[in-house]
Amino acid sequence: MGKLLMKGNEVIAEAAVHAGCKYFFGYPITPQSELVAYMARRLPEAGGLFLQAESEIAAINMVYGAAGTGVRVMTSSSSPGFSLKQEGISYLAGAELPALIVNIARGGPGLGNIQPAQSDYFQVTKGGGHGDYNIPVLAPATLQEIIDLIREAFEIADRYRTPVILLGDGMLGQMMEAVEFPEKPAVKETHKEWTTTGTRGDGAPRVITSLDLNAESLEQRNEHLQRKFASIRQNEARFETLYCEDADYFVVAYGTVARIAVNAVKKARKDGVKAGLIRPITLWPFPLQPFIDTRDRAKGYLAVEMSAGQMVDDVRLSVNGRAAVSFFGRTGGVVPTQEEIYEQLIITAGGGDVNENGI
Amino acid sequence: MMEEIIIAGFGGQGVMSMGQLLAYAGMAEGKFVSWLPSYGPEQRGGTANCTVVLSKEPIGSPLVSNPATAIVMNAPSFDKFEPKVKPGGLLIVNTSMADRKSMRTDIHTIYIKATDMAGRLGSPKSANMVLLGALLAYLPIVSEEAIIQSLEKVLSPGKQHLLKLNEEALKLGKSHLISSETARS
Amino acid sequence: MKTVFEKTSGLKDTPTHYCPGCTHGIIHRLVAEVLEEMDILEDTVGVASVGCSVLSYDYFNCDMTQAAHGRAPAVATGIKRVLPDRFVFTYQGDGDLASIGIGEAIHAAARGENITIIFVNNAIYGMTGGQMAPTTLIGQKTATSPDGRNAALQGMPIKVAELMATLDGAAHIERVSAHDVPNIIKAKKAIRKAFETQKAGLGFSLIEVLSSCPTNWGLSPTESLEWIKENMLPIFPLGVYKNSSVGGKA
């Protein structure tokens, strides 16, 4: 197929089609609107169906209905619209329906702006809706990585009967990069024995619901969900490390911030600071392993985010008090620069000669 | 090698497509490339801009606050990006739409009446290609062949007849720059 | 001996949780009989809503999906768009459809979704304990309109059948009532008509059924049926508001 120059939003859409997604229910919102428009054009071509819903709320509930029939289905939005989908996501988690929800996050709170942000971290990784639940969250850093992660997202969704979130930001959605789609066949629909498609001689009627009025029985359902979440924690944590073998100081960043941080880490190493990078690829489950591997010898961790400090909580939990954890963040759509991250890294490395303005 | 270029102007001046063309050409030459547009209400009415990065290494941030090169196609873009160019960097000004001199003494500035020149070719809309030609003459970050090949891909099937015109505009910008820079030295 | 009453295979053999004198049970039965008579139980996916009928999935003897409050038409849309050859219906009350879910209902109708909505209107929120609904009558006392619904304060009741009939995507819209036997027979015919409309692929159908709530109205079952006749019929006139013969998308 060769290399293509594509926008992040379009890569997400095309990757989903490649992964066998045939149904998309969407609603426009900047900065993810290209994704919706791409699907409107592309899905009919691929023998699927695109429908523009009247709201994000309707869209996620259409996803719920379609997911109950067992097909690969998705929706996408950006922060304020994602909040509206939150009700439906809780229902998807409760009724154990597989689906993909994309959040191309923007500055908040409220209407905020349309610039890139990572301030929906808490919302996507800590449940976000009502009830005890978690959802696997994948956070690509490059457009090429989107292609792999979209496929994995659908596989995880089917394997565990769970909605999965792909979290990006306005920059990832809007930027163009060269990508290459591997010649993998679309994933075959697996037979799902829990769907509601009309019984058609296939035994007794089935019900998809998250309702259980009996306390003991709902507790059992919740325990079942918790066992599933434990299994996801065990098996699905993904991360990438750079220069971590001999590093003293570790930058922790995900998504677009991680790609900026790479350059800061490289520069620090050139200047004699043994820096490394830990990049969580799944935000839930948050990858514990790279911290277990490094926390007893680490001289410090620096979490960098486009938020006022959200992922840093998970970094602190993972480091578990064994090393200092500091934080640097920009908010409101401001993207931290490589130079800023470098300065913070030098400060973290205890540069005594560092003043507020850097080195 | 890392080239960071911001291209800015009114919507409709071909700012976005010029950036994409550069990115395509870079990709064709095996470089890592990124293209990032300004988006949303910002691009309605006011100025639009895009940032292109070409590199031999994987690209960190596609967002550049202080580019080495800026191409400004109108007066508001000139005002906005003139102060942001890195010292030692390059500023290319479309003087058809922004007729003043730069106050910076620490950067190299190229002035070119791109819209007028493109107009004489019969298409003022090709001003972007004139400017691109000037850029490549001064800073050969991608080859002219790569640009022309990419042009075929960027132009929609219905616009292939504009290929020749765009090529001419590109060459015009290039030759103009060479003659004026020679005159200057 | 002549059989005068038989259970319908459209309902599971489960006692319902509905209050004595509530007409939900009758309306369930009408829908179930239609599905049985049309022999489409195995080709049907129902969508349960939130309200007194939240457990309807325990009663209908076909595949069922539970929707969030008000969202049943969107859920039904998702199912029907994937499975256009199956019958898809929602069963919603007035709080669910006319209040929180009015947007989903209107847009499903506007799109001409080929689904059937059974809309049960008893002018009150039943499950949450008798609060004012969008269909509560002027002067009607509820837990949240203790002095009676006051138009100046709480606005006017919404007439769903009339509203839906204005939408070009709607194919068959009819209001019926469950307050006496002749009307119950008419109600069943209307429900059948709605599913036939869906079968013919004509588009959106909605049957509004006036229903009772003795518990929250504070009336006996018999008084409740009388109350529908006396108070609801003048405000919610029965009849066909949109005829399916031409189809919603015509």
Residue with tokens 């149904």: A23
3-state DSSP helix/strand/coil % of chain B, to nearest 5:
50, 20, 30
Same domain, residue pair A250 and A158? no
CATH code, B85: 3.40.920.10
CATH of the domain at A215: 3.40.50.970
Interface mutation vs chain C, best among A64, A101, A217, most C CBs within 10 Å: A64
User: Do A264 and A218 share a structural domain?
Assistant: no
Predicted confidence (pLDDT) at residue B107 exceeds the cutoff of 60:
yes
User: Does C107 sit within 8 Å of A61, measured CB to CB?
Assistant: no
Alpha helices in A161-214 (DSSP H): 170-174
Q: What is the pLDDT of residue C141?
A: 97
Strand C239-242 to strand C170-177: parallel, antiparallel, or no bridges (unpaired)? antiparallel
pTM score of the predicted model: 0.94
The distance from CA A320 to its chain's CA centroid, rounded to whole angstroms, is 24
A180 and A256 within one domain: no
- In A128-246, DSSP assigns E strands to 137-138, 163-169, 176-179, 207-208, 239-242
Q: Can you give the pLDDT at residue A357?
A: 39
By the CB < 8 Å criterion, does A68 face chain C?
A: yes
pLDDT digits (tens, 9 = 90+) for B152-171: 888 888 888 888 999 999 99
The yes/no answer on whether domain C24-127+157-242 falls in CATH 3.40.50.970 is yes
- Beta-carbon separation of A207 and C67 below 8 A: no
For residue B3, the tally of other CB atoms under 10 A from its CB is 18
pLDDT of residue C22: 96
Which residues of chain A are under the pLDDT cut of 50? 352-359
Same domain? A176 vs A113: yes
Q: Average pLDDT, stretch C6-19?
A: 93
Helix (H, G, I), strand (E, B) or coil at C197: helix
Task: Determine the pLDDT at residue C250.
Answer: 40
Please count the structural domains in chain B. 1
Band (B42; pLDDT cuts 50, 70, 90): low
Residues 94-153 of chain A with CB under 8 A from chain C are 95
A18 forms beta bridges with none
Residue A327, both tokens: 């934080």
Residues of C in contact with A71 (CB under 8 A): 82
**Three-state SS at A339:** helix
| Residue C249: predicted pLDDT | 47
Q: How high is the pLDDT of residue B89?
A: 97
Q: Is A217 on the interface with C (CB under 8 A)?
A: no
pLDDT at A354: 39
| A220-224, B172-176, C26-30, C119-123, range with the lowest pLDDT | B172-176
Cβ atoms within 10 A of the Cβ of C59, count? 26
Q: Is residue A270 part of a domain?
A: yes
C60: chain A residues, CB-CB within 8 Å: 205
C1/chain A closest Cα distance in angstroms: 32
Rounded CA-CA distance B170/B174 in Å is 6
CA-nearest of A190, A197, A183, A140 to A160 is A190
The token pair at C195 is: 């599913």
Q: Are residues A28 and A177 in the same domain?
A: yes
Q: What are the helix (H) ranges across chain C?
A: 24-37, 72-82, 94, 102-110, 151-154, 160-165, 181-199, 214-217, 221-227, 233-235
Instruction: Name residue, tokens 């030295």.
Output: B185
Q: A323 and A291 in one domain?
A: yes
Q: Domain of B9?
A: 2-184
The pLDDT score that the predictor gives to residue A77 is 98
Q: Say if A72 falls within a structural domain.
A: yes
pLDDT for the residue B183: 66
Q: Average pLDDT for residues C184-190, to the nearest whole number? A: 98
Q: Which of residues 4-63 of A touch B (CB under 8 A)?
A: 5, 30-31
The answer as to whether A202 is a domain residue is: no
In angstroms, rounded to a whole number, what is the distance separating the alpha carbons of residues A343 and A347? 6
Q: Does A contact C via 3+ CB–CB distances below 8 Å?
A: yes
What tens digit of pLDDT does each residue of B56-67 get? 999 988 989 899
> Residue B181's pLDDT is what?
73
The pLDDT > 90 percentage for chain C reads 94
Core vs surface per residue C86-119: b (16+ CB within 10 A) or e: bbbbbbbbbbbbbbbbbbbbbbbbbbbbbbbbbb
Task: Look at residue C6 in the predicted model and tell me its pLDDT.
Answer: 85
Put simply, the answer to whether A198 touches C83 (Cβ < 8 Å) is: yes
For A292-322, write each residue's pLDDT tens digit. Answer: 999 999 999 999 999 999 999 999 999 999 9
Q: What is the pLDDT of residue A359?
A: 32
Domain that holds residue A314: 239-348
Q: Does A89 touch chain C (CB under 8 A)?
A: no
Same-domain status, A269 and A297: yes
Where do the structural domains in chain C lie, given as residue ranges? 24-127+157-242
Average pLDDT of the segment spanning C155-161: 98
> Is residue A255 domain-shared with residue A221, that is, in the same domain?
no
Number of domains in chain A: 2
Q: Which H or E run contains A224? A: helix A215-236
| Closest residue of chain A to C57, computed from CA coordinates | A207
Does residue A47 come out as left (phi exceeding 0), alpha (psi in the -120 to 50 range) or beta? Answer: left
A27 touches chain C (CB under 8 A): no
Contact call for residues B54 and B141 (beta carbons, < 8 A): yes
Residues A10 and A158 in one domain: yes
Q: Which of C54, C64, C107 sits opposite A58 (nearest CB)?
A: C107
Interchain contact, A198 vs C79, CB within 8 Å: no
Rounded mean pLDDT, C161-179: 97
Give the closest-approach CA distance of B51 to chain A in angstroms: 9
- Alpha carbon separation from C217 to B37, C179, C224 (Å, rounded): 61, 15, 8
**Contact state of B60 with A5 under an 8 Å Cβ cutoff:** no
Do A177 and A316 belong to one domain? no
- Given CB atoms, is A337 within the 8 Å cutoff of chain B? yes
Q: Same domain, yes or no, for A99 and A27?
A: yes
- As to burial, measured by CB atoms within 10 angstroms (0-12 exposed, 13-18 middle, 19+ buried), residue B183 is exposed
- The angle formed by the CA atoms of residues C223, C224 and C226, to the nearest 5 degrees, is 65
Cβ of A51 and C43 within 8 Å? no
A186: exposed, middle or buried (Cβ count in 10 Å: 0-12, 13-18, 19+): middle
Write the CB contacts of C193 (distance below 8 Å, at least 6 apart in sequence). C172, C174, C205, C244
Same structural domain, A36 and A124? yes
Q: Which residues of B touch A33 (CB under 8 A)?
A: none
Amino acid at site A100 = L
Going by C-alpha positions, the residue among B118, B122, B115 that lies closest to residue B97 is B115
Mean pLDDT of C83-108: 98
Q: Round to whole Å and give the CA distance between A287 and A137.
A: 11
A111 at interface of B, judged by CB pairs closer than 8 A: no
CA distance A119 to A109: 8
The per-residue pLDDT for B154 is 82
Q: Do B39 and A177 touch (CB under 8 A)?
A: no
The minimum CA-CA distance between B180 and chain A, rounded to whole Å, is: 34
Measure the CA–CA gap between A269 and A30, rounded to whole angstroms: 38
Q: Is A25 on the interface with C (CB under 8 A)?
A: yes
Task: Report yes or no: A39 at the C interface, CB cutoff 8 Å.
Answer: no
Angle at C46 between CA C45 and CA C51, to 5 degrees: 160
Residues A178, B32: C-beta atoms closer than 8 Å: yes
Structural contact between residues A272 and A313, judged by C-beta atoms closer than 8 angstroms:
no
